[in-house]
Chain A
Amino acid sequence: MARVHLRYYALLREQAGRQAETVETAAQTPEALYAELATRHGFRLAQSQLKVAVNASFTDWTCALADGDEVVFIPPVAGG
């Protein structure tokens, strides 16, 4: 189990009802973690519409997560 810090933006913040949280997860990758959180929070955006950053760097959905990582799922926004 890894302990990861999460931050939510835009639509995800609204759907999660919070800006940040820390979770214990068995997920090994951001992909698995998002699937887990999508079920828990009812996220309606598909993973393909999002980007993920781990420790302040955009990364692949299949990179390995480590204990203490900060993970940010970023939805696209277009308002002007």
Chain B
Amino acid sequence: MNAFEFTHEPIEPAALSAALADPAAGGFAAFEGRVRNQNDGRVVSRLEYEAFEELAQGEGERIVAEALRRHGALRARCVHRLGALAVGEVAVWVGVAAAHRAEAFAACRQIIDEIKHRLPIWKKEHFADGDSGWVNCTHCAEAARVPDFDYSRQLVLPEIGTAGQQRLAQSTVIVIGAGGLGCAVLSGLAGAGIGTIVIVDDDVVDPANLHRQPLYTPDDVGRQKAGAAAARLAAYNPTIRLRPMPVRLTAANAKEIVVLGDVVVDCSDNFATKFLVNDAAVLSGRPAVLASVYQYEGQLQVVRADARGSCLRCQWPEATRDGLVGNCTESGVLPPVPAVLGSLQAMEVLKLLLDLPGQLRDEVLLVDLLELGQRRLSAPRARECNDRCARIRSVDAAAPTPELEIALPLAEAAAQGYRIIDIRNPEECAQSPLALGGHESIPLPRLLDAASTLDPRLRYLLVCAHGIRSRAAAEQLRAGGSGNVWSLQGGLARQG
């Protein structure tokens, strides 16, 4: 029996109390936190709790152990519910057995307070009017302890001072993607003392990430990045709050995640996510700081949700498709490149929050680290977007195209009648030829040019190394009217 546990089943206080029975205990105190039917004057119909369990488990046990030690109680236990809860249900239970009532009350109070302050748990409130939202535990920031983290070297800057530092401490920044850019952004913001940093990334640490993602060590390989980064940064700066969210940003959750913060920072590695961040930020009235890198270069843009500013779609009105231009996996990257661009992003975030001069506005910054050149290009708002952005549609509606991808062994796909087209470039094909009879080899650019030659009576399955380019190509071909094209999910890498 762990001193701290999560459960997806209803909490049964009677059984939990009975399990803490101790003949030496003259006092027993229990606390039940229950789902309330309203918050800030709005009627709540139900709640969902989500936790980053890997991180919370150990921290929860430490909290219980600390309370036992400090108050000299005999036994204690805390159980936190996760998942969907109805009004009135018990969300968290704490029980303490001690020799006398004073220790039992005190330890019980300490455990529930610390659980609220320290554990990475979120609650999503569903309101009676159909609306819903993830709740940020803002009251917790006030209770932050005062460890040895000294901001004096930035407090002396005349533009910052105590007032500026306080503004940073009260800010929440959402970072989408904890990769190369994300590591630099997170380190910069954590060091500067941003009060709450939310880290959104559903990926796990891969050995190939380490060279440019210094928040992780080889021991973290296989761990979720959001949790690993949060743990590392929490140890680095104990005065701030880290909120790992190991989820993928999707059309379904983008807006509710973006509104949690004062600023959102896009450190993702794909266009689909970048457009999603851009759209959700503009629609939610939050500024977004976007960056991308390619080999030795990078681009930086700050999007403001005002009626005059330009956004990503002013520059790239057609949702640019992933896979048609290179990414870090395919094209390579040196560690300082995302580090520089990520640091520039962190700097723009601080400039925004502190209202410092020189902010990027309606511009794109191009940085070339080989020639050490940079260009600040004016990027005005699109003409058709006079008062209201005309290019962003709702971010809730976009459902993924059904069945764009197929996960099948290639031989079976061929047996089912799919015409297999290998869209890799000739060098890749020569290096690792496709061991399959009857397929065609048509490099991606040639295939896109020759879309009209596809036979509408056949079904085509496009394959590439990792399924990224083939998916993009299938999307593009479908958008052009060829409905009979599919992409091999995960590419040849997943064929084993």
Contact = CB atoms under 8 A, between A and B. Distances in A.
B445 interface: yes
Contact of A10 (B294, B375, B380): B294
Interface stretch (B187-195, B263-271, B410-418): B263-271
Contacts of A19: 368, 370-371
A34 interface: no
Contact of B375 (A14, A51, A72, A77): A72
Interface stretch (B35-43, B47-55, B318-326): B318-326
A72 B293 CA distance: 17
Contact of A56 (B292, B298, B376): B376
Interface in A1-26: 7, 9-11, 13-14, 19
B366 A80 contact: no
Interface in B280-322: 291-295, 297-299, 315-316, 318, 320, 322
B298 A77 contact: yes
A44 interface: yes
A73 B294 CA distance: 15
A79 B324 contact: no
B364 A76 contact: no
Given A77-B293, A78-B292, A51 B370 contact: no
Interface string B316-356: 10101010111110010100001000000000000000000
B179 interface: yes
Give the bracket for the number of chain B residues in contact with chain A: 35 or more
A72 B299 CA distance: 13
A7 B135 CA distance: 47
A35 interface: no
A79 B269 contact: yes
A33 interface: no
A11 B294 contact: yes
Contact of A58 (B181, B292, B315): B315
A72 B315 CA distance: 14
Contacts of A13: 297
Nearest to B310: A58
Interface of B is mostly: mixed
Contacts of B370: 19
A27 interface: no
A62 interface: no
B271 A78 contact: yes
B177 A78 contact: no
A53 B377 contact: yes
Nearest to A76: B320
A33 B366 CA distance: 21
B366 A48 contact: no
B16 interface: no
A11 B268 contact: no
Contacts of B315: 51, 58
A10 B333 CA distance: 12
A57 B377 contact: yes
Contacts of B293: 77, 79-80
Interface residues of A, number: 25
Interface in B164-188: 177, 179-182
A78 B377 contact: no
A44 B445 contact: yes
A39 to B, nearest CB: 14
Nearest to A44: B445
A48 B292 contact: no
Contact of B271 (A14, A45, A51, A76): A76
A77 B325 CA distance: 7
B71 to A, nearest CB: 47
A41 B177 CA distance: 35
Nearest to A43: B445
Nearest to A77: B294
A45 B177 CA distance: 27
Contacts of B377: 53, 56-58, 72, 74
Contacts of B326: 10-11, 79
B3 interface: no
Contacts of A46: 448
B274 interface: yes
B379 interface: yes
A69 B270 CA distance: 32
Contacts of A79: 180, 269, 292-294, 326-328, 331, 333, 338
Given A19-B370, A77-B298, A79-B294, A49 B182 contact: no
Interface in B415-439: none
A18 B375 CA distance: 17
A78 B327 contact: yes
B86 to A, nearest CB: 40
Contacts of A56: 375-378
B2 to A, nearest CB: 37
B292 A80 contact: yes
Contacts of A78: 268-271, 274, 292, 294, 320, 322, 325, 327
B464 to A, nearest CB: 15
13 contacts: A9-B297, A48-B318, A51-B315, A53-B378, A72-B375, A75-B294, A77-B293, A78-B270, A78-B292, A78-B294, A79-B269, A79-B326, A80-B269
What are the nearest 4 A-B pairs in CB distance?
A80-B269, A77-B294, A57-B378, A10-B294
